[in-house]
Amino acid sequence: MLDLKFIQKNPEKVQEALRKRRVDLNIQDFLALDEKRRSIIQEVEALRRQLNAQSKEVAKLKSKGEDASNLVDELSKISDKIKKLEKEKKQIEKELFDFRARIPNILAPDVPEGDDEKDNVEIKKWGEKPNFDFEPLPHWDIGTKLKGLDFERAAKLAGSRFALYFSWAARLERALINFMLDVHTREHGYVEVLPPFIVNSQTMFGTGQLPKFEEDLFKLEGWDYYLIPTAEVPVTNIHSNEVLKEEDLPIAYTAYTPCFRSEAGSYGKDTRGLIRQHQFNKVELVRFAHPDKSYDELELLLSHAETILQRLGLHYRVVVLCSGDLGFSAAKTYDIEVWLPGQNAYREISSCSNFEDFQARRANIKFQPKNSKKKEFVHTLNGSGLAVGRCLVAILENYQQKDGSVRIPDALVPYMDGVSIIKP
């Protein structure tokens, strides 16, 4: 959510951001409505002032035992008028709020302009693509041949876009979760959190999933409950409606959760394998930062996510999302894309974003600066550290051997009870 005053004072900046994001919204419509709102407020408040003052007169007259019926009649008319105007005002405010809730965040100045993911800009690469003296297989072939992944039975249980893990695969998924959490808590200073996997609509609003993206979520029928699409949602909202201490910043949380996404509108995309599932596991990193430091913290966050891939010896690149590909709430986002030889492509495995005060304003998360009376909104950041299922995919595809076996990266061997290779 953008600050109302910011929109009023910088309509051209907001319009420019909308244009760069390829979003068709006209800020002039918003401003006209806001103008109307202010004129009604002025009228209402003048009337109310009169009403308040004269109501006291009534009280005085009555306490003296005098008749006040004339005055009461007159005030009754004013009161009616106020009620009518209040109704109108409420309607306009609702429209303004709905409008504002659908305006995406403004962009960081260094976000490249572009239409979609084709215009994202690669900023670095780490490691090398592995060489194979055979044709590398996609992970769904590797995983099913090794009897670790079973998509057919998963479909029987729940439908498409679900997976069933057995034996070494289930263990590997769990190993990855523990490995990631250990690195982030022991080495990167994050506090581990285990949040609810179901949240209410207020919480979904706080991080920007609602009202605009309801169709991406799973909602529980008959309840104001949604399955979380990412740990970002419950973890960022931990401090909603709170005032944090400046000296406590930055606050850093890491959380493992399953993530649930409807994947509406992705029909036909990534239909095979683990890449795009209705349910997947993710270890998330969330930071609450001082506004002056949030972009430094974004670099830090990115490096924390990268560490995991480096320890696993997986080749990746980092891209900056262009304006047209940037998420609704984010001001700037880095995607980490891991190399998948089985698909001969880089695929997103982490997305690290600075939301500046956009989520903080929605969720009302402030801090009290030491040298100012005025409370300010914190900046929120988050990033995957990492998507666990896709990480398992990357291991299978990058560490596959000619004989169909898969090596386990050294860093994970202790988490696999010493198993260093998965054999047919």
Partner RNA sequence: GGAGAGGUGGCCGAGUUGGUCGAAGGCGCUCGCCUGCUAAGCGAGUAUAGGGUUAAAACCCCUAUCGAGGGUUCAAAUCCCUCCCUCUCCGCCA
Binding site for RNA (CB under 7 A): 4-5, 38, 41-42, 44-45, 48-49, 51-53, 55-56, 58-59, 62-63, 72, 75-76, 78-79, 90, 373-375
Min dist CB 242 to RNA, Å, is 10
**Pairwise CA distance, residues 108 & 331, whole Å:** 5
Judge whether 294 and 286 are in contact, CB under 8 Å: no
Q: Which of 276, 311, 317, 407 is catalytic?
A: 276
Name the residue nearer to RNA (CB basis): 51 or 181.
51
**Pairwise CA distance, residues 176 & 411, whole Å:** 10
Min dist CB 123 to RNA, Å, is 37
Min dist CB 268 to RNA, Å, is 39
* Token pair in block for residue 339: 């190399």
**Pairwise CA distance, residues 312 & 265, whole Å:** 33
3-state secondary structure labels for all residues of 308-320: HHHHCCCCEEEEE
The question of whether 276 is a catalytic residue gets the answer yes
Strand 421-422, strand 164-165: pairing:
unpaired
Q: Which of 55, 348, 376, 407 is catalytic?
A: 348
Residue 177 main-chain phi, psi, to 5 deg: -60, -50
The question of whether 261 is a catalytic residue gets the answer yes
CA distances from 124 to 128, 290, 306, 317, 334 (A): 12, 27, 11, 6, 11
Name the residue nearer to RNA (CB basis): 202 or 343.
202
Which burial class, exposed, middle or buried, applies to 382 when counting CB atoms under 10 A from its CB (0-12, 13-18, 19+)?
A: buried
Name the residue nearer to RNA (CB basis): 82 or 169.
82
Name the residue nearer to RNA (CB basis): 42 or 160.
42
Name the residue nearer to RNA (CB basis): 42 or 303.
42
The question of whether 362 is a catalytic residue gets the answer no
Q: Which of 21, 161, 261, 347 is catalytic?
A: 261
Neighbours of 184 (CB within 10 A): 26
Q: Is the peptide bond before 386 cis (omega within 30 degrees of 0)?
A: yes
Residue 247 carries which side chain, given as an amino acid letter?
Answer: E
* Contacts for 23-29: CB closer than 8 Å, 24+ residues apart: 23/104, 25/99, 25/102, 25/103, 29/99
Residue 147 carries which side chain, given as an amino acid letter?
Answer: K
Name the residue nearer to RNA (CB basis): 6 or 213.
6
The question of whether 55 is a catalytic residue gets the answer no
Name the residue nearer to RNA (CB basis): 103 or 175.
103
**Pairwise CA distance, residues 380 & 366, whole Å:** 11
The question of whether 167 is a catalytic residue gets the answer no
Min dist CB 63 to RNA, Å, is 7
Name the residue nearer to RNA (CB basis): 6 or 162.
6
**Pairwise CA distance, residues 315 & 420, whole Å:** 20
Which burial class, exposed, middle or buried, applies to 104 when counting CB atoms under 10 A from its CB (0-12, 13-18, 19+)?
A: buried
Neighbours of 228 (CB within 10 A): 27
Min dist CB 370 to RNA, Å, is 10
**Pairwise CA distance, residues 424 & 422, whole Å:** 7
**Pairwise CA distance, residues 406 & 422, whole Å:** 5
Q: Which of 294, 323, 329, 351 is catalytic?
A: 351
Min dist CB 223 to RNA, Å, is 10
Q: Which of 329, 337, 390, 397 is catalytic?
A: 390
Min dist CB 125 to RNA, Å, is 44
Min dist CB 39 to RNA, Å, is 8
* Token pair in block for residue 227: 């399955």
Judge whether 109 and 298 are in contact, CB under 8 Å: no
Could you give the residue numbers annotated as active site?
261, 276, 348, 351, 390
